[in-house]
Amino acid sequence: QRAPAAAEPTFFSFPRYRHPVAEMLDPPFLPFCLFLGGLGFVCVAFVTAWCQHWRGGFAWDGSTRTFNWHPVLMVTGLVVLYGAAALVYRLPPTWSGPKLPWKVLHAALALAAFILAVLGLAAVFRFHNENGTPNMYSLHSWLGLATVLLFSCQWLAGFSAFLLPWAPAWLRALYKPLHVFFGSTILLLSVASCVSGINEKLFFSLKNGTTDYKHLPPEAVYANTLGLLIVLFGVLVLAALARPSWQRPDADAPDSRQVPAPLR
């Protein structure tokens, strides 16, 4: 099966020839997106149920129930909402017409993810300060704070380069590959931070319990499963970002469905 002739616009930028096996292994984006959205919802539901059922629920009084906001907000913000923001430009409706509404949506989702991450940090710092626990001593805490700081720099740089009107075209073209690279890097760091945090919480919570972590009690099985779901979500988001047939065509590509801007 061959693609239309070069003179005819095609839906995807490339490849021109696709093997039948490759066609079967290239699922439609919409069902994949729906599955990924369901998986993200499951991740949030899992971490919420873990904190509610095994860790005592939620509060903002400095107790362990204050800490429980930390994993819920981090998984919701740094993983699920951030993954959704990363996939905005993979939606076929974004491939034609003005980009500004999609830029605003991308930035708004990323900003919402950042706000939830900051609230998650506030929860864990308040819990530590109220209970005399030192801050920033574990690898998980270093990795998590570095991720949030890198996220803030990424958002500010992206907002300045792509949404403010005075950014020149050459600067946007120069920064775009860096923005894409660090976007994927932040998602990887977010997944690593969440998985290491789950593991650290289990070590601290179960070492003095009726059943140690090494004996794999039901809570450990549940939380380990949560970690695997988070990893799966991150891997699928990165796979969607890397798939060429789901990438937004460049404005200068012959297959682009964008209407070129008028010359001034």
What CATH number did the domain enclosing 40 receive? 1.20.120.1770
Model pTM score = 0.84
The pLDDT value given to residue 13: 39
Q: Is residue 3 part of a domain?
A: no
Contacts with 164 (C-beta within 8 Å, 6 or more apart), sequence order = none
Report yes or no: 133 and 127 within 8 Å, Cβ to Cβ.
yes
**Peptide bond preceding 31 in cis form (omega within 30 of 0):** no
Structural domain boundaries enclosing 153: 28-246
Q: Is residue 88 part of a domain?
A: yes
Contacts with 229 (C-beta within 8 Å, 6 or more apart), sequence order = 39, 42, 43, 46
Q: Is residue 260 part of a domain?
A: no
Number of domains in the chain: 1
Report yes or no: 36 and 237 within 8 Å, Cβ to Cβ.
yes
Report the alpha-carbon distance of residue 218 to residue 257 in Å, rounded. Answer: 52
pLDDT (tens, 9 = 90+) of the chain, 264 residues, equals 444 444 443 333 334 445 555 555 667 888 999 999 999 999 999 999 999 999 999 999 999 999 999 999 999 999 999 999 999 998 888 888 888 999 999 999 999 999 999 999 999 999 999 999 999 999 999 999 999 999 999 999 999 999 988 889 999 999 999 999 999 999 999 999 999 999 999 999 998 667 888 899 999 999 999 999 999 999 999 999 998 888 877 654 443 444 444 444
CB atoms within 10 A of CB 158: 20
Q: Is residue 179 part of a domain?
A: yes
Contacts with 242 (C-beta within 8 Å, 6 or more apart), sequence order = none
Report the alpha-carbon distance of residue 86 to residue 45 in Å, rounded. Answer: 21
Q: Is residue 261 part of a domain?
A: no
Report the alpha-carbon distance of residue 61 to residue 67 in Å, rounded. Answer: 10
